[in-house]
Structure 1
């Protein structure tokens, strides 16, 4: 390497500032032979000449285009390299990344909306799926009431990936369970019986479409079905006394799993 006694050059630090490249990157490119400073001072400091800077400029440009160091080396050092072909291939990769990022952005938008709104359905879609008695303000109210809970976050994550068809399937499953509960009550199914316990398990599995539901949490829901005016009106509208009967079969099933309904907590 020529001595820089009578030739001006730029130090690693000066080049780093000039090109916006880290000193670490310059040292790495030097070590692998991609861009070595031509000169050294008598004290051993590296100095980059104008020709060195031109090569570095090209490296920086190609790096910003996303090319790897090995591909850049070929472009710079191989006179037979198909540079336009390499750039076209890179353009295809960039287009693919842009497409993935756009899909990611759309997914993030849906997730944000789901956390804030709960349901990514219009009021018309909600009425068509859940029936005319459905309150389209419920998702916003639930977000305000439960938005800080783990279960709401889990609900939002599921909601973000669910469209009208998936929600229709959930609504149909709920309607089917409501009919089965009413018919079981009419048939005199007793709490704690295999038939009643099967309905409780069906209810708990259905809630997995919203968030994981433990048996203790299910007991708390049973209490809410009986005491909350909205839920009580829903179940008692199916059969008079169904809200209480549902709470009782949930409690009985919990006891078979060693849970005291009187001390059950939301956990």
Structure 2
């Protein structure tokens, strides 16, 4: 007849113990080999049999292992009569608390990343208006995601957006505003597209734009076309200086051409 542990008079086999405890037969063999949990009995054919006392020790091993204790530490807790078991468990509990805190941080980071992929800047409508200005359309990121959400650039943008709060976004918008002032000043000063000063501005534009995602020269040429052709972008640049949108496109095209990119055939890549 089986006793309260479920073991019969001859004990439980390795397969029965593995099923009962939710561990693998391989783990039981390993614990036997290292002397952590050896079965007390063997059949005439040499098969392992575990007694109720063996099963109780295995229960404790499984519990301690689930708590994160290593096998060496488990052996000490079980076999060292001088071991301070509560102290060992408190220490492990402290380590688990640290892991929980880290997992909560990771969970919060994942939540921010999901939000950034779905919504863009993780700012309230009031924060967006304060950071990006009264002309900012809070629906803009959602529309952009609809159009570009399956691109590498949107994913790169979302990864950057996930880590930014209001101050970081202010720094980004400040850098863009500084660049646009440089652009207008260069146009006022008569800088010629293809000249050293204008070429530096094209390179500076890529650097500033990298706050959103890395920009190749070909992609920059495509943006330059958009700045000139899109009514919203053209109005933005021409409000800074009349004709700035077209001049900026010519600056981008000239710098790209000097580096072997044909503006007439450039694609988004």
**In structure 2, how many angstroms separate the alpha carbons of the residues matched to 1:206 and 1:118?**
18
1:120-131 pair list within 5 angstroms: 120-131=122-133
**In structure 1, how many angstroms separate the alpha carbons of the residues matched to 2:136 and 2:183?**
20
Residue of structure 1 in register with 2:5 after alignment: none
Residue of structure 2 in register with 1:250 after alignment: 252
Kindly state the Cα deviation for residue 37 of structure 1 after the two structures are TM-superposed: 0.8
Other structure's SS at 1:47 match = strand
Residue of structure 2 in register with 1:73 after alignment: 75
**In structure 1, how many angstroms separate the alpha carbons of the residues matched to 2:128 and 2:19?**
58
**In structure 2, how many angstroms separate the alpha carbons of the residues matched to 1:45 and 1:22?**
16
Q: Can you list the C-alpha shifts for 1:8-27, whole angstroms capped at 9, x where unaligned?
A: 11000000111111111111
Kindly state the Cα deviation for residue 236 of structure 1 after the two structures are TM-superposed: 1.1
Match of 2:188 among 186, 189, 205: 186
Give the stretch that moved more between structures: 151-160 or 130-139: 130-139
**In structure 2, how many angstroms separate the alpha carbons of the residues matched to 1:236 and 1:224?**
13
Residue of structure 2 in register with 1:3 after alignment: none
Residue of structure 2 in register with 1:229 after alignment: 231
Displacement over 6 Å in runs of 4+: none
**In structure 2, how many angstroms separate the alpha carbons of the residues matched to 1:235 and 1:135?**
17
Q: CA RMSD in A?
A: 1.0
1:38-187 pair list within 5 angstroms: 38-187=40-189
Q: Can you list the C-alpha shifts for 1:120-140, whole angstroms capped at 9, x where unaligned?
A: 011111111111111111111
TM-score, length of structure 2 as denominator length:
0.96
Kindly state the Cα deviation for residue 7 of structure 1 after the two structures are TM-superposed: 4.5
**In structure 1, how many angstroms separate the alpha carbons of the residues matched to 2:39 and 2:232?**
77
Residue of structure 1 in register with 2:208 after alignment: 206
Match of 1:216 among 203, 214, 218: 218
Structure 2, gaps ≥5 residues long? 1-7
**In structure 1, how many angstroms separate the alpha carbons of the residues matched to 2:260 and 2:79?**
75
Kindly state the Cα deviation for residue 66 of structure 1 after the two structures are TM-superposed: 1.2
TM-score, length of structure 1 as denominator length:
0.96
**In structure 2, how many angstroms separate the alpha carbons of the residues matched to 1:248 and 1:117?**
33
**In structure 2, how many angstroms separate the alpha carbons of the residues matched to 1:196 and 1:156?**
31
Structure 1, gaps ≥5 residues long? 1-5
Other structure's SS at 1:202 match = helix
